Amino acid sequence: GMKPLSISDSTNKENTRDGDTDDEEDEDDEHDEHDDETNHLFRKVVYCPVDGMPPEYSEYLTTFEECVPWLLQHRPDLVLTTKGGVTVQEYGAKLENKEEEGEPASSKNKSRGGAARPNKNIKSKKKGKDQDGMVTIERVSRSKRKFITVVAGLDMFDVKLKEAAKKLGKRFACSASVNKLPGGGQSIDIQGDITYDLPDILIEYFPSIEKDKIYLIEDGKKSKAFD
């Protein structure tokens, strides 16, 4: 009566062996799933969703400050070389303080070196001494007989200067270009002396400019273009 025992023994052994292999396979499966999760997480962390770059590169891009909230969550300990070696966390805290002091941290105002660039959409008050919300038209002589007409202050009335220069150049059949003014702001320089024709054209082309905001400058004296 020994044989049946040994058969059951061997079956048990086989069972346990099968059992072992099953367990091992299960473990392997779990392991694979775990790997997938880590890979998934890793893949998610590597690229910043704002600029599509690895976090280490974010600080060199103009979109950096838009990335800060994401970096704070995923890479708070990342050291920012361009920000004086502070970590993302420290930098985030600085930004918060600035915002509380009433300096909104706008990404567009920061250039790569962290220095603020004036945002074009914010109307700057420093457009020459008297150009707070006015358009000035001045004739400037280039040589004895050549004149250009300089129109400044259009940008205060949300006029797109490049488009305006094109329109005016077409209208007067001459060249018109956008130039920077020494005191900040930009002007449109139009070849020829069109000082007296220009005010009517400005009103016609750019409805946002009111008549009483247009001034002529002659010999350094300013007078209203429309009385």
pTM of the model: 0.43
Tens of each residue's pLDDT in the chain, 227 residues = 555 555 555 555 555 555 555 555 555 555 555 555 555 555 444 677 777 777 787 888 777 888 888 888 888 888 888 888 888 888 888 877 777 766 555 545 454 555 555 555 444 444 444 446 899 999 998 888 899 999 999 999 999 999 999 999 999 999 999 999 888 889 999 999 999 999 999 999 999 999 999 999 998 899 999 98
- The C-alpha angle with vertex 79 and arms to 75 and 81, in degrees rounded to 5, equals 135
Q: Report residue 132 as tokens.
A: 């707070």
Q: Residue 190 is which amino acid?
A: I
- Which among 193, 197, 226, 191 is positioned nearest to 212, based on CA atoms? 226
Q: CA 113 from chain center: how many Å? A: 14
Secondary structure of residue 157 in the 3-state scheme: helix
First-residue to last-residue Cα distance in the chain: 130
Q: Where are the alpha helices (DSSP H) in 105-187?
A: 161-171
